[in-house]
């Protein structure tokens, strides 16, 4: 197992965490709109992009990388 070296401080981790919350809110809002409009399944697959960006933000904040 490799050791993770922190390369950002608490300020950078906070920015990444806020970025994760922002992308999660965008994904949740888009999903609500798509469900209300009864969008087909294939456009809802595009929500994987903001969900992935939110996950990356949270993971980077946790690991401080």
Would you list the domain boundaries of the chain?
Answer: 21-63
Is it the case that residue 2 has pLDDT exceeding 80?
no
Nearby residues of 18 by Cβ (< 8 Å), 6 or more positions away? 57
Give, in order, the Cα–Cα distances in Å from 51 to each of 5, 9, 31, 41, 54: 26, 24, 11, 16, 5
pLDDT of residue 8: 86
pLDDT of residue 3: 76
The pTM for the full model equals 0.86
pLDDT band at 1 (very low <50, low <70, confident <90, very high): low
* pLDDT tens readout for residues 5-44: 778 889 999 999 999 999 999 999 999 999 999 999 999 9
């Amino acid at each position: 197992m490799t050791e993770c070296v922190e390369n950002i401080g608490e300020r950078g981790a906070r920015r990444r965490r806020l970025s994760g919350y922002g992308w999660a809110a965008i994904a949740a809002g888009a999903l609500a709109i798509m469900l209300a409009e009864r969008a087909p399944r294939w456009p809802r697959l595009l929500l994987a992009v903001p969900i992935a960006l939110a996950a990356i933000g949270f993971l980077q904040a946790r690991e401080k990388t």
